[in-house]
Each structure stands twice: as C-alpha cells, then as structure tokens.
Amino acid sequence: MNPLKVGLLTLAAMASVIVMSLKITSNKSGFGEYVTYKTILQDASGIFEKSSIKVAGINAGRIKKIQLNGAQGALVTFEMLEEVKLTDKSILKIKSVGFLGDKYLDIILGDQSGDRLPPESFVTAQAGEGIEELSKDAGEVLKEVKEIAKTIKESLRDEQGKNMVKEIIANIHDITGSLKRLSTGNEDKINQIIDDVQAISDQLAFETDRSQKNSLMGDLSKIGPILDKADTAVTDLKIIIADLKDGKGTVGKLLRDDAVVDQVSQTLSSVNRLVNRINNIEADIGLSTGANTRTGTDTRFDMDIYPAPERFFRLGIVTNEFGPESQTETDTYTTTNNGNEVHVNKRQVDHSSFKFNFQIGRRIQRFGLRAGLIESTGGVGLDYFLPDWGIRTGMELFDYQKEAGPNLRLMTEIKLWNVLFARVAGEDLVSKSGDQSATFSLGLRFTDQDLAALIGIFAR
C-alpha cells in the first residue's frame, strides 16, 4: 500500500476523533478561566488526578493533584470554572456510579448569597454513599438480625431453660389430627358454619359502622368476634416464630445458621476488594502518525495499563520501514550465446512493516523504567514525565544488530491542545553506518475520563 495514502487516511481518522473528543471534553479543552481550591479527604481510594468534578451532574472542574497530608488524610487540589461560584456553604462529596462503584467528586453549591471563596481556599468535604457504605450497612443489619434471632431463641425456652419448639410442634400435630377427624364426614356442617360466620361478619360490619345509631363503643359485647380473630392471628404468629426458630425456610436458615451470616459478610468483603482493584486500574492510550526523514511514514499505537500507580504494562503496534531487513539470496545460472553458464546472485529484501511492543515497567516518582519487546526486538527504555507541562521525554535502546550496532532513540512528546500532541524522535543515533534520522509525528492521547465519555456517546 502507498505510504502516503496510509498517512493521509490516518490523519483523516485522527481529525474525526479530534472533533468528537472536543465535543465530549469541552470543559477540559483549556479555554475558560479556572479557580484553584483545596479539600481534605479521609479516604481518596478510587479518586485520581484529572478526574472530573461535577455540579448537578455536569462536569465543571477537575482534580490537579492528590498528595498525602499526614494523619489528616489526602490533600486534594482541584480547579473549578470561574463561572461556578463556591461559597463557605458549598460542600464536596464523593459519589459512586453503578454497582462497580466508579467514583467522582460532586459539589453542592449551597446558598449563593455569600461571598465567593478566594483561590486556594479549603472546601468542606463529606463522605458520600457507595458500595463500601452499602457493605458496612449490610454488615450492621446482619448483626441486628442475629441479635433478634438470639432473642427469639431465648423466648422459646421455658423457666427451666427447656426448648419448647418440639412441644409446640407436637401440639400442632395433635391439633391437625383432631381437625382432620372432626372434618371427616361433616363437610355439609362445616359449610353451614362458614355461611353463618359470613352472616355474623356482615352483621358486625353493619354494627360497627359509624353512621349507625349504636356505635361500637356503645355496645362492647359486639367486639367479641374481633377479639377471637386477633387471638387466632397471635396463634399463627407463634407458629411462624416456631418455624423460624427451627430453621425452616430461607429466612429461618439465615437466622439459625451463623455460618450463613459469616459467608454473606465474606462475600460482600470479596466484592468490595474486587471493586477497589477495578477502580484502581488506569489506562493511557496514544495514536500517532508522521514521517521519518530517511524511511518514510511512521504510524504507532500504544496503550499503557496501570494496575497500580507504581507498575504499568505497555502494549502497542508500529508500522514503518525502519529497522532490520530480512534478506534471502538466490543463486541462478543463465546460458550465454556461447553455451557458457553464468552464475548470478539475486537478493530479495523484505522490509518488516508491522512491529509489536510489549513491555513491563515501573514508575518511580517522575521516572519510568521499562523492559521487553520494543518494535519486535528486545530492549529497555527510560522515561521522564512532566504532567503539569504535558511533556514526556525518554530514550530507548533496542535492535542490537551486529553490523550497525544498537538503535538508540531519544524522543520528546508535548501536549499541544486537549488530547492532541506532537512527537519528535531521533532514530539510530549511534549507528555505525551513519543511518541517523528524525521522526516528526502528530497524535491523540486519551485518558480514562476521555474514553469513558467517548464510550458513553457511542452507547446512546
């Protein structure tokens, strides 16, 4: 494929993505004035630098820096759009979205009649509600249920401490047998009794109607059937309590078996740990294309995955015509007019177009050390990050060719605007054959917040 066409097609795709990213991250574009504030969080897990800060569900700011502030907790420095007025009544809360507990900061503006807080002021923070709070509440509820079960258990013992559940069940069995013997052959009489009860119920409803002359308070003898029904309800309640005490049914097993309560608590704790691990994973994705002064087009895709702040993995793919060549030589013989055979060597050069990156790295403050596959060959790399300036620099040493020596690459990446960045790299700087060159590229780099917003647009 023509390298020029590949580069033009890539630039067109990048331009489309830039337009969409500007639509969905307009509040991060760098336009507009921001005011810097601070707050103290007792628990900042799941909150990262550059995370959005929302007001009424709309992005209105972002986190600049998170650092430990001794025993007080985490000191969070953030900035808000100048058009958002924060007063001493404003409150910052940590909120979660969905079951996985994705976290963000939400500000309740409060009374707007007060004066605006000056820059670098502290905003009051309150703990929000999320899966952690739900787990704690569930644990407390289970403890209370356990106490209730213990109380019910004690209430079902007589004065000598003997368990009365078996006696209650035996009495119920006797009553059931008596009812069965009584109902056998007396179906017509039972139906007549039911009809009479219905008639009495209708008469009772008439007698207790407030619009009638004789009120219920005027004739207490008419509430006898009501008391009988209440007694029956109490008896049924005792039977239900006995079943719960005996561990019958799902609720009964939950109240009876301490192991079930412990298993539920352990399950909630495991889910909580899993959610925290997922929340702590960060990703940084970059796509760039450009040209090398010696070999032509250079297009690369890289993705950094941070399972923890101090560890990361880099995955990627690169397409260019730079690097080692695989060569094959073919011996052929031709015949001249005189009948003599002439020996001819033909060399076929196959440029490796696609190369892959897979590296394991460790972040130490502003430095990053990594090792693994660099463009399909073994190598090591060293990076230096300046996040406040949007700059990252680094060097890579890979492709150790015997004839040409190793490839030493120095590169610098500068953030131009929002997700757009420029990249300059010096290639093969210690080449023995004088193959030094430079690569100039433009690209896009997305963070977790940018990707979440982009996926939300496509999911609608």
**pLDDT for residue 46:** 73
Whether residue 123 is found in the same domain as residue 137? no
What tens digit of pLDDT does each residue of 229-265 get?
677 777 877 777 777 667 666 666 666 666 666 776 7
Residue 93 has pLDDT above 80, yes or no: yes
Whether residue 79 is found in the same domain as residue 203? no
At 303, the amino acid letter reads M
**pLDDT for residue 368:** 93
Q: Which residue has the higher pLDDT, 244 or 221?
A: 244
Q: Which residue has the higher pLDDT, 282 or 75?
A: 75
Burial pattern 95-129, b for ≥16 Cβ within 10 A else e, equals ebeeeebbbbbbbeeeeeeeeebeeeeebebeebe
Residue 349 has pLDDT above 50, yes or no: no
**pLDDT for residue 82:** 86
Any domain includes 199: yes
Any domain includes 1: no
Any domain includes 10: no
Whether residue 58 is found in the same domain as residue 161? no
**pLDDT for residue 168:** 77
**pLDDT for residue 215:** 47
**pLDDT for residue 27:** 45
Query: pLDDT band at 30, cuts 50/70/90?
Result: very low
Any domain includes 100: yes
pLDDT mean over 380-386:
93
User: DSSP readout, 398-454?
Assistant: EEEETTTEEEEEEEEEEEEETTEEEEEEEESTT-TT---EEEEEEEEEE-HHHHHHH
Whether residue 80 is found in the same domain as residue 223? no
**pLDDT for residue 320:** 80
pLDDT mean over 422-450:
86
pLDDT mean over 39-66:
82
Whether residue 447 is found in the same domain as residue 312? yes
pLDDT mean over 168-173:
79
Any domain includes 319: yes
Q: What is the mean pLDDT of the chain?
A: 76
Q: Which residue has the higher pLDDT, 347 or 302?
A: 302
Q: How many domains does the chain have?
A: 3
**pLDDT for residue 67:** 84
**pLDDT for residue 49:** 81
Q: Which of 1-10, 51-60, 142-151 bottoms out in mean pLDDT, i.e. has the lowest?
A: 1-10
**pLDDT for residue 458:** 57
Any domain includes 19: no
In terms of residue numbers, what domain contains 286? 281-459
Q: Which residue has the higher pLDDT, 26 or 42?
A: 42
Any domain includes 167: yes
The CATH code of the domain that includes 329 is 2.40.160
Q: 105, 129, 153: which is the final residue of a domain?
A: 129
Any domain includes 67: yes
Query: pLDDT band at 136, cuts 50/70/90?
Result: low
Whether residue 244 is found in the same domain as residue 285? no
**Percent of the chain, pLDDT > 70?**
66
Q: 219, 243, 274: which is the final residue of a domain?
A: 274
DSSP state of 160: T
**pLDDT for residue 5:** 67
pLDDT mean over 87-112:
76
pLDDT mean over 375-399:
90
pLDDT mean over 57-64:
84
From CA 372, how far away is CA 348, in angstroms rounded?
30
**pLDDT for residue 381:** 95
Whether residue 176 is found in the same domain as residue 118? no
**pLDDT for residue 210:** 46
Residue 6 has pLDDT above 90, yes or no: no
Outline where DSSP puts E strands in 278-435.
Answer: 282-292, 296-308, 311-320, 325-335, 341-351, 354-364, 367-374, 377-386, 391-401, 405-417, 420-427
Residue 428 has pLDDT above 50, yes or no: yes
Query: pLDDT band at 108, cuts 50/70/90?
Result: confident
What tens digit of pLDDT does each residue of 403-417 get?
667 889 999 999 998
Whether residue 123 is found in the same domain as residue 159? no
pTM of the model: 0.43
Residue 395 has pLDDT above 90, yes or no: yes
Among the listed residues 128, 36, 126, the one whose alpha carbon sits nearest the alpha carbon of residue 89: 126
**pLDDT for residue 391:** 92
Q: 252, 274, 296: which is the final residue of a domain?
A: 274
From CA 441, how far away is CA 287, in angstroms rounded?
10
